Structure 1
């Protein structure tokens, strides 16, 4: 038996289940997806789902981690932020996030539903903010190096995420599509409000 191949096959099956769950949550809501429908959509037997996830709650928590990692891998494309001017990275990541959420509206829908549900309390306290694993260090370094004002990290994260989520939802709901110039303007307004005048 090729153990490596078996592991890869299992990982691929889990990915297929999670991706189909993401689609169905977008269609039916976080709590409105029966396992029978998921099995049908994924093209597997219902019992197979429980081979990979011991409960629906477990699956939703794993979906959250899967989505969060996927977003982080996509967004933090600047390979070496230490050699990039912080202002450039700050604005680039903000715009990258906007584009990711407009290209993947079901992800934004899932994350909003997740953070409005009891599931958010199941996350360990040091992981209970969107992308905190990357953003916390990104913002803490900026405060330490006096690139941005020393506000509470949670305040900074709310300001940083709030505007881009609102803009992405306007696009996703068909109300308005922002040009690259307008996105740059918004990122600049955010930067000007947070940047330290001493640097």
Structure 2
């Protein structure tokens, strides 16, 4: 069984919120993934995967050092943000993500053509990586998403917006990116944190995306 630590150390959205995440909890359990809310940073070492879903408190250097060591030991870490940066979510996530060569831009991505329910902030895309397509992640809906900039080595985009999408800041339309460590560990950043809530998870391949992000094979 895969053990996932869902962080509550930095005032993240909690997975035990039934209204938002009851489906994700159920799907994880059905796929032999154990997800536990963890409120003590040092306990992350006891898990295979660590998730920071909309952290609201910036990370301290010693916390980032600790996470970097976990990735070097083969752990998988994911951090997921939101659009605009009005509440400094991009800045907060960058206190962690920039260590791994990924920057949240505080952007707004819209798509007047490829979207869900005729809402240009609920963008849809088929531009997923080959490895994702091999896992049946062919099309996803990503609501209210930021864009990412790759600033370091060993980082690759894993989800792009469609060519019809627009970046308010004129950035490259990278929506999810992954740092791959030689150890087998990795760090994944996503421009939105609401792709796996109860509203989105059953649309297109969002369920497959969600389960893949919670899974880990070194």
The interval holding the TM-score normalised by the smaller chain is under 0.3
Higher strand share goes to which structure?
A: 2
Greater Rg over alpha carbons, structure: 1
Structure with the bigger percentage of helix: 1
TM-score by length of 1: 0.25
TM-score (norm 2): 0.24
